[in-house]
Chains A and B, each alone.
Chain A
Amino acid sequence: MNDHLLVIFPHPDDEAFGVSGTIAQHTKKGSPVTYICLTLGQMGRNMGNPPFATRESLPLIRQKELEDACAAVGIDDLRQFGLRDKTVEFEDEKGLADKFLSVIEEVKPTKLITFYPGYSVHPDHEATARAVVRAVKSMPELERPELLCVAFAKNSEAELGAPHIVTDISDVFEEKMNCIKAHKSQTQWLVESVKKDPAMLEWVKHERFWRYPL
């Protein structure tokens, strides 16, 4: 069976913390992964002290980090959609959904991972999630991939209940950490806190997904 995983997120590094272990487990067993990343995170704030980046050099740095992160977890099909950070919600939602749909129809994923609409905090996350749901809903029921969502708004568990799937990713912990570290302009603080904080380490070793009710 073609067990293809499709991952759709707006920013380089959105995949790192919550999904890269699941991705690595998938590629390790020889199953293909396609990652659609919408922007280059051009409006990221971390420039370093002393600064290692400027507003203008940051996208070039994050482009390279994204490629390194994909290599770390075995993603060889990265699709970059060339949108601009913070503007996803102002794009035409149907146009974006149609672009997602054409990739879905091409790679025929069995699973699709994105953010959970309403529970993903950043407006770009929300807009991406809404367009993904729109794309999947437009498909005949029997052809739809399973839609697994990442939620991290504070009210997620209170309103959605416990995650439907909790995956232990200890077997690919090193690959996951290499993916997180590859996004070093954004994740230095996180790498430090995983080293120091046992609770954070446990958090990183598990990935949580909610099935979206289509």
Chain B
Amino acid sequence: MQLIQANEVQNTLDQLIGKELYLHLETTNGAYANHNNDSVLTVNAYIRNGKVTPLSGKIMGNGPFRVGLKIELGWIYAEGLTHWEIDSKGRLLMAGHDQEGRLAVALQLSSSPFDV
């Protein structure tokens, strides 16, 4: 993955508008967050293969970045995105990594389902 270049991500998002896509959306502070620090709540959530059709999409901020996608009945939102790539299968992968290289948030869109 590379550091996010907002204009490149925006160009990619523009091409996905109106298409039926599969979504991976995730945030995590690690399965051992509370084990490592009693005062921290272990918080993890993910959606694997939500089916969505974005009506519009924007990337905002100066880095880390936010991405918001409008869908028919609501929104898809992620904050803290630092890296992105279009992988070998043409999927848009965006993620936020901390200083130690640990993934904290991910927002991914694909025209075919993600592996489970």
Contact = CB atoms under 8 A, between A and B. Distances in A.
A118 interface: no
B112 to A, nearest CB: 12
Given A51-B97, A54-B93, A59 B115 contact: yes
Nearest to A55: B106
Interface string B70-93: 000000000000010101010101
A176 B26 CA distance: 33
Given A51-B97, A54-B95, A46 B102 contact: yes
Q: Residue among A54, A124, A153, A154 with the most chain B CB within 10 A?
A: A54
A123 B116 contact: no
Interface in B1-53: 1, 24, 26, 28, 30-32, 35, 44, 46, 48
B99 A49 contact: yes
Given A47-B102, A49-B99, A49-B101, A55 B93 contact: yes
A192 interface: no
A56 B87 CA distance: 9
Interface of A: 43, 45-51, 54-57, 59, 84, 86, 121-124, 153-154
Interface of B: 1, 24, 26, 28, 30-32, 35, 44, 46, 48, 83, 85, 87, 89, 91, 93, 95, 97, 99-104, 106, 108, 114-116
